[in-house]
Amino acid sequence: MMRFALRTAAVAVALGTAAAAWAQSETVRIAFIDPQSGLMAPVGTNILRSYQLIAEIANRENWVKGVRFEIVPFDNKLSPQESLNALKAAIDQGIRYITQGNGSSVALALADAVAKHNERNPGKEVVYLNYAAVDPDLTNSKCTFWHFRFDANSDMKMEALTTFMAERKDIKAVYLINQDYSFGHQVRRAAREYLARKRPDIKIVGDELHPLAKVTDFSQYVAKIKASGADTVITGNWGSDLALLIKAAKEAGLNAHFYTYYAGTTGVPTAIGDAGVDRVRFIGYWNLNSEKPGSLGERIYKEFKTRFKDDYYTIATYTVIRALAEAMNKAKSTDPVKVAFALEGLRFQSLNGEVEMRASDHQLQQPLFISSWQKVDGKQVRFDAENTGYGWRTERVLDAFIAAQPTSCNMKRPARPAG
């Protein structure tokens, strides 16, 4: 009896110590590895500020009791090698969580490096929270346990986009223009495959690749599009590459419709202006103008706008930190291995509704929105973008299952931690 009492007391002390350890004050630092200089700096800066605001909200609302989040920026100059240097610097500083999204070439390098580091350094594991790099390979042939994607991959987006386009009988001739790296290649491949399946009558009249973040004048590309007779352009371009393409199209009087992935991002709305009304659309996972007055998404947008005089549009920054908080609460730990296991299969509420981190490949499943550029009317378009007087009107919301894709991921998992 005495032995049982002593054992019970020891267990109680151990449990009490664990609870105390979990309750104590701790700062979880997240390395933000993305461009903060060069042509893509405006996008990187907007998203860095978005993360910083959401971290502040999480801290003041105590999403994880006793835990504070801190975003630590590293400028990778959109370079895979600079990103690997930043990863090493972050690890050397004891940072156990990283986030990145601008550029799938960077993402592929980081995912591989994180997996190798974790295999070689048990007890010092790092988790990679990918908020926007959408190459499908990251959750298929190159998937790893340590990588979690919070954006829809490019195939999911093309599935949704072409489902919408297939219904539009005015589309007869399509021109593809994309950035010459892994993501751009995936967009052009998916566009060809999915249009052939859904609308074999549509002709692909051009297929162009151009250097990433190097072109400052797209007039020569627009001239080719105009000469092709295309009535529609599909592009995965983002950042300055999309803003300058749209600007050149406007200046040349190109009347084609643009179907894009990233027309809602920094600099592009200003480039679109009045010439893009009902001509520019994008596929995304949220639209501010779909929010009900007084909603959480609207409140975050307004706080961001007041503080930074800029638009909040990357709600994956909210989704990432909300997911991290939910997983830490579920695991009762900030340990990266325990948190990674807790993230698998996690269902939770983000700004765009209930989402799920699919366990089989770590690809977030979420609804997708197709929106068109329209003049603010106070009803369907209550908020403009970049103070232009124009904003995004939701044309279609597609449930997560419509864009969901099968996965070829064959993930190797570490041993599950005890407790």
Whether 96 and 163 map to the same domain: the answer is no
Alpha helices in 77-218 (DSSP H): 80-92, 104-120, 154-165, 182-198
Angle between helix 219-228 and helix 240-252 axes, rounded to 10 deg: 60
Q: The pTM is what?
A: 0.93
Q: Are residues 387 and 265 in the same domain?
A: yes
Please report the pLDDT score of residue 25 as a whole number: 82
pLDDT tens, position by position, for the chain (419 residues)? 444 344 444 444 443 444 444 555 899 999 999 999 999 999 999 999 999 999 999 999 999 999 999 999 999 999 999 999 999 999 999 999 999 999 999 999 999 999 999 999 999 999 999 999 999 999 999 999 999 999 999 999 999 999 999 999 999 999 999 999 999 999 999 999 999 999 999 999 999 999 999 999 999 999 999 999 999 999 999 999 999 999 999 999 999 999 999 999 999 999 999 999 999 999 999 999 999 999 999 999 999 999 999 999 999 999 999 999 999 999 999 999 999 999 999 999 999 999 999 999 999 999 999 999 999 999 999 999 999 999 999 999 999 999 999 999 999 999 999 86
- Assess contact for 28 and 97: CB atoms under 8 A: yes
**Co-location of 102 and 174 in the same domain:** no
| Cα gap 375→274, rounded to integer Å | 8
- The predicted pLDDT at position 20 comes to 41
Does the residue 378 lie in any domain? yes
Within this chain, do residues 278 and 267 fall inside the same structural domain, yes or no? yes
Q: Are 376 and 362 in contact (CB under 8 A)?
A: no
User: How far is 262 from 255, CA to CA, in rounded Å?
Assistant: 19
Whether residue 163 is contained in a domain is answered as yes
Q: Phi then psi for 113, rounded to 5 degrees?
A: -65, -40
Q: Is residue 357 part of a domain?
A: yes
The boundaries of the domain holding residue 77 are: 25-151+298-365
Please tell me whether residues 395 and 246 are part of one structural domain: yes
Q: Are residues 214 and 145 in the same domain?
A: no
Do residues 214 and 344 share a domain? no
Residues 346 and 267 in one domain: no
Cβ-based neighbours of 320, under 8 Å, separated by 6 or more = 51, 99, 129, 131, 150
State how many domains the chain has: 2
pLDDT (0 to 100) of residue 24: 58
Q: Return the CATH number at 252.
A: 3.40.50.2300
Q: Is position 375 within any domain? A: yes
Inside any domain, residue 411: no
Q: What element of type H or E holds 44?
A: helix 41-60
CA distances from 382 to 198, 296, 374 (A): 34, 16, 11
